[in-house]
Structures are given as structure tokens and as C-alpha cells.
């Protein structure tokens, strides 16, 4: 199944939902704002639920299963490197020390991007079959 | 005592004389203004026409606040202020319009590098991303990014944007996101805020359209729409707030004494690296196109359908870049704005050297001056100079551009052969890799000569890089790069992973082989073209076992 009416309908609902939710956040101090937020969240949840329901109709995709645990580890490594670089600058006030910590954090993140995540995403790639 | 009395009398006489002179001068100026007003061209003269332009634009065009009193110095001063802001509004809006036109360049480059069977789909993604991004940015993105960015004198102060959410860490307040400007209503219904919104919006949209290149020829249109809305609403604005909206990266200088804080003049990091890294996240999740890689891991070149569109698109982008970089002064009159000429020349030079870098690299290594890589070299140079354009001299700009031109070729090969990531247009390398290089180059090449009102990010002095004596700035840039890779990529990856679970990122194998124009768009891009048969390696896909 390619693009179809159902997709268009629920994309419209998604856009209405996010608009109402934002309007609700803007006017949260008023009663109307709270109602708008609630209705927006309902629209958003409904559209996402419907997206999920029509997803299987898409048919088979040329993509092997990507192991979730490995992907999660990859993301954690990437984010961990950032945390090391960012919070590391508060451990020392020397320029050299800060630069070293920033580079170490950067290398950790790069390892996540260049090693762990590609390995996870290509683990069962169809071109390997 | 007698001496003191004499001195006191002398001072009194001097002060009275000065006061009289000042009063006389004021009175003389007022008289001069009235005389000049009297000499202004009469209506009868103006009715004769003014072919030489000497009668148009005189003192009679200065609005008078009190007609009985006539023109005053206050009226003239107000008009001077209006003129400054008017020049800056006009400059910022026109450069914003130039950046908006870059969307056409992106559409041509990306579609030209894709196969003809996906032309409509690729053009349509580049077209629709404008609507998705603008809408998301209007409802919430702008507020997150610039909601606490008050204080820019070039655009009149922007005082309505005065609320930044702060987080107290290590005994210091760090900006996390802005809180004013949703839907541009209330106090943000303001002339200066509107100008800033337009300018920032087209930047944001540039970042969004980069992703469509990395995911071209296999991205489900529905998911593309939702992903673009989410990126315009959250991913881009959050990082842009940290860098440009008074957030914690910009505060690294003030709060932690790290250089002038993270410096990104026009967005190598904020715009291009955010777009390129999000493109990498989506490309990893969505997987390579059918037939891109062989069983042994080697790759096949999938040639685009229109190199003329690619090169014309590159020129349109280079033209638009004159809005991107010089426009980022947010004015042509006032604090340091006259550097616009230097910024524009740096932009041209880096693009020029980027073209040479890529073209010569391909010519020397591969034997031919590859047209698509030469185009990517131009863009790589432009992307790289975007962050440092306001802080470097022409030599620095040329080196940055040349390095970017070579880097983009190396990066394309690395991403394809080592990471096994399929990037049909080279968007990850052009915008991601060279965007990060641009951010880094500020910390190396900033020459300490720029002066935008005497300070940057609230720290007195000019931005100075390692080669000009300040290693501190390089630390700030490295933290910025780390944030781009660690936070922006991580956030984008998780967001698009969730979207993959809910909506599915990729079109069906059947649609992909047929080409996305008919299944996704309902219309071929070029209905009168006769498609040639796909090469053998592409037909393997039809036999492939798919998930």
C-alpha cells in the first residue's frame, strides 16, 4: 500500500492535535487552554494509534530487522560521550584539561555513531542475504 | 582664602559662559533646522518632477511631532533611529528572502541526483518541507528557540522575547529553552519579532530540507511529513536556542569562562550539522536503497537523472548563501554590521576553494573532474564557512573552503564504504561532516579582528581562535560539536526510531522498485519519459527476501 486516503486523514488529525496541544500550552492558565490541551492530546494519541493500525498495510519493506538492544546501546554511547564532554569541563579549569575531556567525550560519541549504530542497523541488512 | 574666592569666581564665569555657548548652539541648531525647513523644495517645484533626485528626500520628509513648534532635534534623532532600524529590517528581510529561495536549489540538487522514477517524490518532499517546517516553527519552534533572545539592538531590542527557562547547575543558571512567541501572539505581535521570525524560519527550513536528501528514494511521504514537523518543532529549535537564543552553549563564556561561548556565526552547526546529523539518523534507520550494496559489502553507484539540475541548483544555493551569511549580522547599520562585505567575500572564496578541492581530488584520485562532486565541493565550502564567516579573514576562509572540498570527498567514501550508509545526494557529508568542520574552524581561524558591538555572547572582546592565540575558544567549539553529535544526533535517532515503530519510515519494496512517483505521489515526474531497464544489480531486489 502506498499513499492513501487514510494516511491523509490521520495526518490531518495529527496536525490538528499538535496545533491544539500547543494552543493549550500557550493558554494553559485559562480553562479554555486546558480544554484545548486535552483535546489536542486526544487527537495526537488517536492519530498515532491510527498510524500504527494502518502501518501493516504498507506491505513488505526492503529492510532487515534491526536489533533494538544494540541500537539502544549505540544511542547510550553517543549520549554518554556528550555528557562526558559537557560535564567534564566543570571538573577542571585548565584549558588543556577541558580540551582533553571534550575530545574524549567526542571520541566516545563518534564510536557510537561510527561503530555501534551502523553495526546495529546493518546487522540483518537484506543486502547481506 | 582670597585665592580661593578668585578661583571660585573664575569657575563660575567659565561655567556660565559654557552654558551660554551651549544654549546658543542649541538655539542655533534649532534655527538652522527651521532655516533648512524653509529652504525645502516647495510643492510647486516637486510637481515639476525630480529627474536628478536632488529635490527628493529632504528635511521636509522628516515627520514633525508638533506642527506648531516645527521640526526639532528630537524629530531628527527619532528619524535617525527609524532609519537605522529600517535599514536593518530591510537587510534582514531581503537576506531572508534569499535564504528562502535556497529551497529551490535544494530541490534541484536532490532531485537531479535521484533517479527519474523518484523525481516527483523528491521534488515534493523539498516543496512540502517548507510548509511542515514553517507550520511547526510558528506554533512552537520559534518560541523554544528565540523566546528568551531579547536584547538585539539591530532589530530594535526585541524586548517581547524575554523569557528563557533556566536550569541551575553547578551554582549557575543555564538557558534551556525559550518561552515566548508561540503562534506569534500577545506581546510577540511586534514588528521586530516578525522580522526575526522570518529570518530564523528560513534557516530552520534549510536544516529540515537536508534530511530529505539523505533519505531520498525510499522515505515514506507520510512519515517524512510527521518527522519534519517534529524536527521543526523540537529538534532544531532546542539546539538553536542553546547556540543562538541565549542558551547554555552561548553562556559557556559568561558562566564558565570558556572563550566567547559557542560561536556559530550563521549556522554551520545550528543549521547544517543539525540537518546532516538528523539525515544520518534517518538514513541509518531507513536502511540503504535496494541494490545499493552487494552481498560482499561493495557498493554500486546509482546515478542521478539530471546533472544540469544539480549544477544549476548548486548555483542557486551559492546565490542564496549571500543571504545566509551576510544576513546573519541581522542588520547593515550598527554594531559591527559593516563587516557584511567581508562576510560575503569569505563566503564566495570558501565556495570557490571548496569546488577546487573536490574537483581536483576527484580528478587526481579518480581520473575525472566529477561534476556532482564538484557541486558538492562548492556546497561543502559554503557550509564550512557559514560558522566562521563573520570571524575570519580571506586567507582563513580560503583554507577552510579548500579543506571542506577535500573532506566532503573523503566523507562520502567513508560513509558509503565503511559505515554502509546510503546517502543518495551526499547530504550527510556536505552538511554534517563539513558543518562540524566549520564549527571547529572557528576555534582555529577566528582572527580576533571582528567587533560586533565590543562583545560576543556577552563576553567582552573579539572571537579569537587557536592560531591567533586563544585555545579557550577551541574548547567551546569542541563542546558544541560534542553536543551536536551527542544530543542532536541522539535525539533525532530516538525520535525517528519511535516514528519508525509507529508509522514505518520506509516505503514497501514494491513501491521502491517501481519508483515512488506513482505509488506515493500518484503522478510521474516526467510522464513522457521512457524508463530504461534497471541494471542487473537492481533486479536482485525483486528476488530478495524482505522483512
Query: Which residue of B278, B482, B517 is the best one to mutate when testing the A interface, meaning the one whose CB has the most A CBs within 10 A?
Result: B482
Residue B188 lies in a domain: yes
Res B374 pLDDT > 80: yes
Q: Is the dihedral of CA B27, B33, B36, B38 positive or negative?
A: negative
Strands B172-178 and B459-460: unpaired
Q: CA angle B319-B99-B438, nearest 5°?
A: 80
d(CA A15, CA A9) in angstroms, rounded, equals 10
Residues from chain A contacting residue B420 (CB–CB below 8 Å)? 118, 122, 125
Residues from chain B contacting residue A11 (CB–CB below 8 Å)? 222, 225-226
d(CA B545, CA B183) in angstroms, rounded, equals 48
Query: Which residue of B283, B302, B503, B514 is the best one to mutate when testing the A interface, meaning the one whose CB has the most A CBs within 10 A?
Result: B503
Per-residue pLDDT of B264-293, as tens digits, reads 999 999 999 999 999 999 999 999 999 999
Residue A85: all three cell numbers together:
564532554
Q: What is the mean pLDDT of chain B?
A: 92
Task: Select the residue of A26, A59, A95 nearest B183 (Cβ to Cβ).
Answer: A26
Encode chain A in three state secondary structure. Answer: CCCCHHHHHHHHHHHHHHHHHHHHHHCCCCHHHHHHHHHHHHHHHHHHHHHHHHHHHHCCCCCCCCCHHHHHHHHHHHHHHHHHHHHHCCCCCCHHHHHHHHHHHHHHHHHHHHHHHHHHHCCCCHHHC
Residue with cell 500500500: A1
Task: Select the residue of B293, B294, B479 nearest A89 (Cβ to Cβ).
Answer: B479
Q: Are B233 and B141 in contact (CB under 8 A)?
A: yes
Per-residue pLDDT of B53-76, as tens digits, reads 989 999 989 999 988 888 999 999
Whether B135 sits inside 8 A of A15 (CB atoms) is: yes
Considering all CA atoms of chain B, what is the largest pairwise distance in Å, rounded to the nearest integer? 114
Residue B103 lies in a domain: yes
Whether B519 sits inside 8 A of A3 (CB atoms) is: yes
What is the 8-class DSSP label of residue B71?
A: -
Pick from B143, B203, B413: which is nearest to B301 by CA? B413
Strands B455-456 and B172-178: unpaired
B417 phi-psi bin (left φ>0, alpha ψ -120 to 50, beta other): alpha
Radius of gyration in angstroms for the set of CA atoms belonging to chain A, rounded to a whole number: 22
Residue B537 lies in a domain: no
d(CA B406, CA B361) in angstroms, rounded, equals 6
Whether A2 sits inside 8 A of B478 (CB atoms) is: no
What percent of chain B lies above the pLDDT cut of 70? 92
Q: Are B372 and B355 in contact (CB under 8 A)?
A: no
Name the CA dihedral angle for A21, A23, A26, A27, rounded to a multiple of 10 degrees: -110
Residue B261: all three cell numbers together:
561561548
Residue of A nearest to B185 (CA): A26
Pick from A71, A69, A58, A61: which is nearest to A122 by CA? A71
d(CA B446, CA B437) in angstroms, rounded, equals 13
Residue B49 lies in a domain: no
pLDDT of residue B541: 53
Whether A14 sits inside 8 A of B170 (CB atoms) is: no
User: Residue B17, Cβ neighbours under 10 Å: how many?
Assistant: 10
| Parent domain of B490 | 80-161+178-511
Q: What is the CATH number of the domain that holds B199?
A: 1.10.3430.10
Task: Select the residue of A61, A95, A109 nearest B472 (Cβ to Cβ).
Answer: A95
For A7-10, the CB contacts below 8 A with 24+ separation are A7/A54, A7/B222, A10/A47, A10/A50, A10/A51, A10/A54
Smallest Cα distance from A111 to chain B, Å:
11
Residues from chain B contacting residue A75 (CB–CB below 8 Å)? 490, 493-494
pLDDT of residue B37: 85
d(CA B305, CA B291) in angstroms, rounded, equals 17
Smallest Cα distance from A25 to chain B, Å:
9
**DSSP-derived secondary structure for B448-506:** S---STTEETTEES--B-GGGT-HHHHHHHHHHHHHIIIIIIHHHHHHHHHHHHHT-SB
Residue B104 lies in a domain: yes
Grade residue A4 by pLDDT with cuts at 50, 70 and 90: confident
Does the predicted TM-score (pTM) go above 0.90?
A: yes
Residues from chain A contacting residue B504 (CB–CB below 8 Å)? 55, 58, 61
Average pLDDT on B190-200 reads: 97
Smallest Cα distance from B488 to chain A, Å:
9
Domains held by chain B: number: 1
Residues whose CB is less than 8 angstroms from the CB of residue B252 and which lie 6 or more positions away in sequence, other chains included: A89, B258, B259, B261, B262, B457, B476, B479
Residues from chain A contacting residue B503 (CB–CB below 8 Å)? 51-52, 55
Q: Are B354 and B377 in contact (CB under 8 A)?
A: yes
Residues from chain A contacting residue B286 (CB–CB below 8 Å)? 63
B315 phi-psi bin (left φ>0, alpha ψ -120 to 50, beta other): alpha
Residue of B nearest to A66 (CA): B285
Whether B258 sits inside 8 A of A18 (CB atoms) is: no
Task: Select the residue of A7, A98, A113 nearest B222 (Cβ to Cβ).
Answer: A7
Between chain A and chain B, the number of residue pairs with CB atoms below 8 A apart is 192
Domains of chain A by residue range? 5-58, 68-128
d(CA B505, CA B227) in angstroms, rounded, equals 9
Res A59 pLDDT > 90: no
Residue B534 lies in a domain: no
pLDDT of residue B18: 53
Average pLDDT on B295-318 reads: 95
Residue with cell 530529505: B212
Q: Which helix or strand (DSSP H or E) is residue B165 part of? A: strand B164-169
Residue B517 lies in a domain: no
Q: Are B336 and B452 in contact (CB under 8 A)?
A: yes
Per-residue pLDDT of B289-305, as tens digits, reads 999 999 999 999 999 99
Grade residue B451 by pLDDT with cuts at 50, 70 and 90: confident
Residues from chain B contacting residue A114 (CB–CB below 8 Å)? 418-419
Residue of B nearest to A82 (CA): B486
Name the CA dihedral angle for B90, B96, B101, B106, rounded to a multiple of 10 degrees: 160
Q: Are B204 and B232 in contact (CB under 8 A)?
A: yes
What percent of chain B lies above the pLDDT cut of 90? 82
Pure H helices in B298-339? 307-324
d(CA B488, CA B404) in angstroms, rounded, equals 22
Res B26 pLDDT > 60: no
Residue of A nearest to B480 (CA): A86
Residues from chain B contacting residue A109 (CB–CB below 8 Å)? 482, 485-486, 489
Res B193 pLDDT > 60: yes
Helices B191-214, B274-286: inter-axial angle, 10-degree rounding: 40
d(CA B336, CA B353) in angstroms, rounded, equals 26
Smallest Cα distance from B204 to chain A, Å:
19
Strands B164-169 and B172-178: antiparallel
Residue B333 lies in a domain: yes
Whether A22 sits inside 8 A of B139 (CB atoms) is: yes
Whether A2 sits inside 8 A of B508 (CB atoms) is: yes
Complex prediction ipTM? 0.96
Pick from B215, B421, B216: which is nearest to A127 by CA? B421
pLDDT of residue B545: 45
Task: Select the residue of B218, B287, B503 nearest A125 (Cβ to Cβ).
Answer: B287
Amino acid at each position: 500500500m502506498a499513499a492513501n486516503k487514510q494516511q491523509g486523514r490521520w495526518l490531518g488529525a495529527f496536525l490538528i492535535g499538535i496545533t491544539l496541544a500547543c494552543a493549550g500550552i500557550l493558554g494553559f492558565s485559562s480553562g479554555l487552554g486546558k480544554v484545548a490541551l486535552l483535546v489536542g492530546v486526544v487527537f495526537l494519541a488517536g492519530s498515532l494509534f491510527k498510524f500504527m493500525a494502518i502501518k501493516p498495510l504498507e506491505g513488505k519493506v526492503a529492510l532487515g530487522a534491526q536489533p533494538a538492544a544494540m541500537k539502544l546501546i549505540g544511542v547510550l554511547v553517543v549520549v554518554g560521550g556528550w555528557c562526558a564532554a559537557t560535564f567534564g569541563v566543570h571538573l577542571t579549569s585548565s584549558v588543556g584539561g577541558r580540551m582533553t575531556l571534550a575530545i574524549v567525550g567526542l571520541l566516545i560519541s563518534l564510536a557510537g555513531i561510527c561503530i555501534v549504530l551502523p553495526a546495529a542497523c546493518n546487522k540483518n541488512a537484506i543486502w547481506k542475504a | 582664602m582670597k585665592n580661593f574666592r578668585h578661583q571660585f569666581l573664575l569657575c563660575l564665569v567659565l561655567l556660565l559662559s559654557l552654558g551660554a555657548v551651549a544654549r546658543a548652539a542649541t538655539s542655533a541648531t534649532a534655527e538652522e533646522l527651521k532655516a533648512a525647513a524653509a529652504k525645502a523644495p516647495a510643492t510647486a517645484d516637486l510637481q515639476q518632477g525630480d529627474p536628478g533626485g536632488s529635490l527628493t528626500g529632504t528635511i521636509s520628509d522628516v515627520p514633525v511631532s508638533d506642527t506648531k513648534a516645527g521640526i526639532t532635534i528630537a524629530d531628527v534623532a527619532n528619524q535617525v533611529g527609524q532609519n537605522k532600524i529600517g535599514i536593518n529590517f530591510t537587510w534582514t528581510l531581503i537576506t531572508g528572502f534569499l535564504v528562502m529561495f535556497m529551497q529551490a536549489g535544494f530541490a534541484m540538487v536532490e532531485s537531479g541526483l535521484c533517479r527519474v522514477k523518484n523525481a516527483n517524490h523528491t521534488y515534493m518532499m523539498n516543496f512540502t518541507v517548507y510548509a511542515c517546517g514553517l507550520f511547526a516553527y510558528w506554533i512552537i519552534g520559534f518560541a523554544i528557540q528565540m523566546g528568551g533572545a531579547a536584547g538585539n539592538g539591530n532589530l530594535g531590542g526585541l524586548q517581547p522575547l524575554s523569557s528563557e527557562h533556566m536550569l541551575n547547575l553547578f551554582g549557575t543558571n543555564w538557558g534551556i529553552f525559550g518561552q515566548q512567541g508561540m503562534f506569534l501572539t500577545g506581546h510577540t505581535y511586534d514588528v521586530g519579532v516578525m522580522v526575526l521570525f522570518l529570518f530564523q524560519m528560513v534557516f530552520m527550513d534549510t536544516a529540515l530540507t537536508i534530511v530529505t536528501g539523505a533519505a531520498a528514494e525510499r522515505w515514506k511521504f507520510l512519515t517524512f511529513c510527521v518527522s519534519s514537523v517534529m524536527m521543526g518543532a523540537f529538534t532544531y529549535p532546542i539546539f538553536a536556542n542553546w547556540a543562538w537564543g541565549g542558551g547554555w552553549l552561548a553562556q559557556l563564556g559568561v558562566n564558565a569562562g570558556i572563550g566567547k561561548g559557542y560561536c556559530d556565526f550563521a549556522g554551520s552547526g545550528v543549521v547544517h550539522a543539525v540537518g546532516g546529523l538528523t539525515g544520518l539518523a534517518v538514513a541509518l534507520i531507513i536502511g540503504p536503497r535496494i541494490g545499493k550494496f552487494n552481498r560482499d559489502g561493495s557498493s554500486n553507484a546509482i546515478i542521478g537523472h539530471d546533472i544540469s539540475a544539480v549544477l544549476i541548483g548548486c548555483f542557486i544555493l551559492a546565490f542564496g548563501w549571500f543571504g545566509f551569511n551576510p544576513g546573519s549580522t541581522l542588520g547593515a547599520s550598527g554594531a559591527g554590521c559593516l563587516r557584511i562585505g567581508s562576510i560575503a567575500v569569505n563566503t564566495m572564496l570558501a565556495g570557490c576553494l571548496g569546488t577546487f578541492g573536490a574537483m581536483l581530488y576527484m580528478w587526481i584520485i579518480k581520473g575525472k573532474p566529477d561534476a556532482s562532486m564538484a557541486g558538492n565541493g562548492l556546497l561543502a565550502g559554503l557550509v564550512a564557512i557559514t560558522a566562521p564567516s563573520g570571524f575570519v579573514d580571506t586567507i582563513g576562509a580560503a583554507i577552510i573552503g579548500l579543506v571542506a572540498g577535500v573532506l566532503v570527498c573523503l566523507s562520502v567514501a567513508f560513509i558509503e564504504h565503511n559505515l554502509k550508509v546510503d546517502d543518495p545526494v551526499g547530504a550527510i557529508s556536505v552538511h554534517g561532516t563539513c558543518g562540524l568542520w566549520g564549527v571547529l574552524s572557528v576555534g582555529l581561524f577566528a582572527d580576533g579582528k571582528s567587533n560586533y558591538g565590543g562583545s560576543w555572547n556577552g563576553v567582552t572582546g573579539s572571537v579569537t581562535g587557536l592560531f591567533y592565540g586563544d585555545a579557550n575558544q577551541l574548547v567551546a567549539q569542541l563542546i558544541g560539536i560534542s553536543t551536536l553529535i551527542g544530543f542532536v544526533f541522539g535525539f533525532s535517532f530516538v525520535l525517528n526510531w519511535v516514528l519508525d515503530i509507529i508509522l514505518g519510515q520506509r516505503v514497501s519494496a514494491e513501491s521502491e522498485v517501481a519508483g515512488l512517483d506513482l505509488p506515493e505521489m500518484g503522478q510521474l515526474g516526467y510522464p513522457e519519459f521512457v524508463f530504461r531497464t534497471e541494471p542487473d544489480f537492481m533486479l536482485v531486489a525483486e528476488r530478495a527476501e524482505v522483512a
